């Protein structure tokens, strides 16, 4: 199983090709992820990226590349801050914001999917709420996460600014 850790920074993962734009200790491949990635089509069974996509101006191009390098039946695991996370707007390097339904625009089931030919099946999406989160530890507020999972639409329309979420998690499978 071939796996990529895209935009790894200092989060070096064993068993993954660790890619970042900076030559940090443990980085296997240095590449600008806003350009064509240095891999053949259908190289990876899994792509993992955490807190990287919010820094990208052109999400469509990045998703096209992830689609290209991920095998059919492969999975792309994405963690990004939710748009209500205080850090989403505080960090000056953040260029875009994500909600629960953001990746729906890349599925066959969305009427606004004409912007791109790239398609994914969404295997899973989840909003995360934490009681506390540091660089070392995180304690998920599981009752709140469960409650919001009953209707993410109601949450994002009516309650998200009252009880902000911290992260959105997506599991995407490229349609090939």
Residues 12-36 pLDDT 10s: 999 999 999 999 999 999 999 999 9
- Share the mean pLDDT of the chain: 94
CA neighbours within 13 Å on the CB side: how many for 47? 29
Q: Is the pLDDT of residue 108 over 70?
A: yes
Name the CATH superfamily, with its identifier, for domain 3-129+167-174.
Vaccinia Virus protein VP39 (3.40.50.150)
Report the pLDDT value the prediction gives residue 159, as an integer from 0 to 100: 97
Q: Apex CA 90: angle with CA 140 and CA 57, to 5°?
A: 100
Please say whether the beta carbons of 95 and 56 come within 8 A.
yes
Distance of CA 99 to the CA centre of its chain: 11
Separation of alpha carbons 69 and 87, rounded Å: 30
Q: Mean pLDDT across the stretch 60-82?
A: 98
Q: What is the mean pLDDT of residues 150-166?
A: 97
End-to-end CA distance of the chain: 19
User: Residue 70: which pLDDT band, with cuts at 50, 70 and 90?
Assistant: very high
- Domain ranges within the chain, ordered by starting residue: 3-129+167-174
User: What are the DSSP calls for 103-138, one per residue?
Assistant: GGGGSTT-TTGGG-S--EEEEEEEEE-EEEE-SS-E
Spatial distance between the Cα atoms of 102 and 152, rounded to a whole number of angstroms:
12
The reported pLDDT for the residue numbered 109 is: 87
pLDDT bracket for residue 102 (50, 70, 90)? very high
Task: Write the pLDDT tens digit of every residue in 112-156.
Answer: 777 888 999 999 999 999 876 665 667 788 999 999 999 999 999
Cα 130 to chain centroid, rounded: 18
The predicted structure's pLDDT at residue 136: 61
Segment 26-65, tens digit of pLDDT: 999 999 999 999 999 999 999 999 999 999 999 999 999 9
User: pLDDT tier at 172 (50, 70, 90 boundaries)?
Assistant: very high
Quote the pLDDT of residue 134: 60
DSSP designation for 6: E
Work out whether strand 70-81 and strand 167-174 pair parallel, antiparallel, or are unpaired. Answer: antiparallel
pLDDT (0 to 100) of residue 111: 80
Token pair for 157: 């329309």
């Amino acid at each position: 199983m071939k796996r990529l850790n895209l935009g790894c920074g200092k989060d070096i993962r064993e068993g993954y090709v660790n890619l970042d734009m900076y030559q940090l200790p443990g980085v296997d491949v240095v590449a600008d992820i806003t350009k064509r990635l240095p891999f053949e089509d259908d190289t990876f069974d899994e792509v993992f990226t955490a807190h990287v996509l919010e820094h990208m101006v052109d999400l469509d191009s990045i998703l096209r590349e992830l689609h290209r390098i991920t095998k059919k039946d492969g999975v792309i695991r994405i963690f990004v801050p939710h748009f209500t996370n205080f850090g989403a707007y505080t960090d000056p390097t953040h260029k875009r914001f994500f909600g629960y339904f953001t990746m729906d625009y890349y599925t066959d089931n969305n009427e606004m999917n004409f912007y791109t030919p790239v398609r994914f099946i969404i295997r899973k999406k989840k909003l995360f709420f934490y009681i506390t989160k540091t660089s070392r530890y995180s304690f998920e507020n599981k009752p709140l996460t469960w409650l919001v999972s009953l209707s993410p639409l109601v949450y994002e329309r009516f309650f998200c600014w009252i009880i902000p979420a911290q992260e959105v998690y997506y599991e995407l499978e490229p349609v090939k």
